[in-house]
Structure 1
Amino acid sequence: MTAQANDVHVISTSSLGDRSYLATDGEAALVVDPQRDVDRILALAGRLGVRITHVLETHIHNDYVSGGLELSRLTGAAYGVAAADEVPFERVPLADGDVVEVSSSMRVKVLATPGHTFHHLSYALDGPDGPEGVFTGGSLLFGTTGRTDLLGHHHAEDLARHQHASARRLAELLPDGVRVWPTHGFGSFCSATQASGDDSTLGREKQINPALRLAADEFVHETLAGLDAYPAYYAHMGVANLAGPEPVDLRTPVQADPQELRDRLERGEWVVDLRNRKAYVGSHLAGTVSLGLDGPMATWLGWMIEWGAPVTLLGETPDQVAQARRELVRIGIDRIAAAAAGTPEELAASPDQLRSLPTATFDGLASAMDGAVPDGLPAPDVVLDVRLKNEWDASHVRGAVHIPLPELAGRMDDVPHGAVWVHCGSGYRATAAASLLARAGRRVVLVDDAFDRAESEGVPMAVA
């Protein structure tokens, strides 16, 4: 009779493009790379009726504040971190070849897999019948690998060579049927390129992953060429994780009345409208920034703001504010200046605060560029593209001005005078950009459309 395999549960944080894992034999449980809001993991363990005995980090994270230390404190679990990482808190130092005995039927073997960081570890999970899967963190991802420049561009090539060797090592040590459980690669900027698929095995990765298909030099060249900018708040995440993060605080922020909201807006503070962009376009408070919860709100806000600047959250409901609070503490934005819930009409101190945004499609932009401006819209003096550099290089609107969204707030003087038609890849970033432009007093039209429709709609295109 075959013994029962261990059960691995995914705790997804889609807003940051990451996954945490809880593996259990039905009694004891191991958690890998937990996010900071560990109540989700405690709730899962409770539903399963299992006890968390071990918490492991694959690496010191650069894209989120870890919940590992707090989870170990709350549960009494052993906290495993790479021995080579010098940290001030109590932990179990782990190194290549170590074996962590979680229970009589579940253990993990520690494998050194440098590349994403110098001290990166992967954890091969063994069950009653042998290897079942490997927690690869930022090493081997689905169809790609973790990026190698987060510790500085001067380390990127060296780490890329390590990344190639580490992927090969995993493929050599473990059977093809072993499942791959990465932390990054689901939209995370820690991924070197966009990951493919929702699950994988080492056998599949041997067929599709550049680290397992290309020679070292070719892999390094391709990896370095594909790296684009990453969020500015990453500079604070590794520091926080090395120091040992403070316990998470998810308490309701101080509630602001309409007059306080107006005062904060008049001071030029970041007042973030969390509703979807369709609602924002219809009506919003002048000076607010659109970053809807239907997109990666925390990523873009954390990338754009001056670290430590006061942030006020506006939602349709208290639940939206609570969700945004949760997402922001994951990247270390703990102090929310104020919050309010309601419609723009309810939150306005006076009707003159209410605004709307004119919108167009790429079909409308094509017509406007050809001289046939849609009714009610200004002619485009400037077409502004707020996508990232790699997107721009692949294809862009001929004659457009390129300022990536994270740079826009600090580069308003670089936007030529006149009416601005702004676009991105889908409409989310363009709405944020349009709100920033309107806040700066610019006349703006939001192109709320998918960029892959632009050429077919007749917009003249170019490549870098």
Structure 2
Amino acid sequence: MFFIDTIELEGLGNRSYLAGGERTAVAVDPPRDIDSVLGAAARRGVRISHVVETHIHNDYVTGGPELARITGAAYLVPADARVAFARVAVADGDAFDVDAGLTLAAMATPGHTPHHTSYVLRDGGRPVAAFTGGSLLIGTVGRPDLVEPRLTEHLARAQHASARRLASGLPDDTAVLPTHGFGSFCSSAQADGDSTTIGREKSANAALTTDVDTFVTDLLAGLEDVPAYYAYMGPANAGGPAPVDLTPPALADAGEIAGRLAAGEWVVDLRNRVAFAEGHVAGSFNFEADGKLATYLAWMIPWGKPVTLLAESAEQLAAAQRELVRVGVDRPAAAATGGPEVWLRQGERPASFARSTFAGLAQEIPRPSPIVVLDVRRDSERAAGWIKDSVHVPVHELHGRLDEIPSGAVWVHCAGGMRAGIAASLLDAVGRDVVAVDDGFDAAKNAGLTVVTA
């Protein structure tokens, strides 16, 4: 009898896994905060005998070395991955005993990276699951452009071949358990559904339903910007990440918060965008703790710049700190909890800005005073339709392009409101008159706005 537990990393859009039998188990692509994996093993009453990586990750810092060290597990890493630490070098076809009747076999599946390896879990010799990492995902594949631009087309073709190798070598009822595809920018598209099998992918995945040339052309055409922090993840993982330190950061009072802002450091307010708009420390930025905090903050902040976190509670602060260590933002320079009433010096008033909807924007456009409609969605989102005469700057580029925004009141929108909140905070911090459109983009046309399509 075997089990497979899924460990969700919702903020990064990834999954890790713990799979095993009655006594021992294997951990697949573990996060840097390994206590979630250790907790899963403790609940099952099993020892972790193997820790495996499908590839050197580009979107998060792995906890593999530390998990292997703490548990004494064998650390399995693809043989062709260039790493600076001791590991069990895994080659295509290698097999490892996990528990009685339960084995794990390596299958070379290059494409997401040149060395990418999937692992097939067999129970009594029968394949029951494939841990496919960034190879075969739900309805798509991992993106092939994160290693080296000159290799992108080659790796895209390898993705097609690897997907077909998995499909032809495994029974239709084999569960496909990818690491990416649930919001991660390591995926070439987002997963359509929560689970899948080899059989389902044969009828739904373009890698298995189209010829290689069509697949590669479509795949490359759909690739979007790579988060800037990805440049630091691969080297960190290849070098062997240090253990995490999740002890609480030093607490800052109102004077220190003001001083850090004056020094040009980033002060990040983790509260929801409604509370932030109603009142905040002038100059602070809003990255909601319940949004994709790690992805967007790590993408936008200059790498290595000190960050101070402002949270509603110690619990919110701890959760944010955990999210950030997963992408290498290790130690906040300082932190504070509560609200603007304790973050502002005596006599200071909170800053604020307006919020509205697309219906509100439709009412504002005909008025004499000129306004700027700023669209901060990604290129692919805008390509499907945009508000006539709007300015387009994706949110991850906005901090470096603030001087490009025309004069006038700025009504900023995205697809649902979260990124508009980030953008509004950036604009507010430099003194712009801003209105955050907190609404779904589907409402724009219904509000009477002219939506242009190519």
Fold shared, TM-score > 0.5 on shorter chain: yes
Asked if the contact 1:380/1:421 (under 8 Å) is kept, the reply is no
Identify the residue that residue 352 of structure 1 maps to in structure 2: 348
State the 1:129 CA deviation: 5.6
Asked if 1:115 is matched to 2:111, the reply is yes
Asked if 1:408 is matched to 2:398, the reply is yes
Single out whichever of 160-169 and 350-359 deviates more from structure 2.
350-359
Mapping of 1:61-460 within 5 angstroms?
61-128=57-124, 130-371=126-367, 379=369, 381-460=371-450
Identify the residue that residue 10 of structure 2 maps to in structure 1: 14
State the 1:380 CA deviation: 5.0
Asked if the contact 1:142/1:209 (under 8 Å) is kept, the reply is yes
Identify the residue that residue 26 of structure 1 maps to in structure 2: 22
**Structure 1, gaps ≥5 residues long:** 373-378
**Structure 2, gaps ≥5 residues long:** none
Q: Give the 3-state SS of the residue equivalent to 2:316 in structure 1.
A: helix
State the 1:268 CA deviation: 2.7
Letter in structure 2 aligned against 1:395: G
Q: Give the 3-state SS of the residue equivalent to 1:150 in structure 2.
A: coil
How many Å separate the matches in 1 of 2:408 and 2:148?
Answer: 39
Asked if the contact 2:20/2:99 (under 8 Å) is kept, the reply is no
Identify the residue that residue 38 of structure 1 maps to in structure 2: 34
Query: Among residues 41, 44, 50, which one is paired with 2:46 in the alignment?
Result: 50
Asked if the contact 2:173/2:197 (under 8 Å) is kept, the reply is yes
Asked if the contact 1:380/1:420 (under 8 Å) is kept, the reply is no
How many Å separate the matches in 1 of 2:89 and 2:419?
Answer: 42
Count of residues in correspondence between the two structures: 454
Asked if the contact 2:96/2:103 (under 8 Å) is kept, the reply is yes
How many Å separate the matches in 2 of 1:269 and 1:450?
Answer: 32
State the 1:154 CA deviation: 2.2
Letter in structure 2 aligned against 1:383: V
Q: What TM-score do you get using the length of structure 1 for normalisation?
A: 0.96
State the 1:198 CA deviation: 0.3
How many Å separate the matches in 1 of 2:83 and 2:247?
Answer: 28
How many Å separate the matches in 2 of 1:351 and 1:423?
Answer: 33
Single out whichever of 389-398 and 72-81 deviates more from structure 2.
389-398
Asked if the contact 1:345/1:351 (under 8 Å) is kept, the reply is no
Provide the alpha-carbon RMSD of the alignment.
1.1
Asked if the contact 1:171/1:206 (under 8 Å) is kept, the reply is yes
State the 1:137 CA deviation: 0.1
How many Å separate the matches in 1 of 2:415 and 2:348?
Answer: 32
Runs of 4+ that moved beyond 3 A: none
Which whole-Å deviations, capped at 9, do the CAs of 1:36-82 have from their partners, x for residues lacking one?
00011111111111100000000000000000010000000000001
Q: Give the 3-state SS of the residue equivalent to 2:32 in structure 1.
A: coil
Letter in structure 2 aligned against 1:210: A
Which whole-Å deviations, capped at 9, do the CAs of 1:274-324 have from their partners, x for residues lacking one?
111111122111111110111101111101111000100000101111111
Asked if the contact 1:269/1:310 (under 8 Å) is kept, the reply is yes
Asked if the contact 2:22/2:99 (under 8 Å) is kept, the reply is no
Letter in structure 1 aligned against 2:383: D
Which whole-Å deviations, capped at 9, do the CAs of 1:378-421 have from their partners, x for residues lacking one?
x5521101111111112111111111111111111110111111
Q: Give the 3-state SS of the residue equivalent to 2:435 in structure 1.
A: strand
State the 1:351 CA deviation: 4.3
Letter in structure 2 aligned against 1:269: E
How many Å separate the matches in 1 of 2:101 and 2:370?
Answer: 66
How many Å separate the matches in 2 of 1:444 and 1:137?
Answer: 42
Single out whichever of 269-278 and 114-123 deviates more from structure 2.
269-278
How many Å separate the matches in 2 of 1:120 and 1:133?
Answer: 17
How many Å separate the matches in 1 of 2:384 and 2:45?
Answer: 50
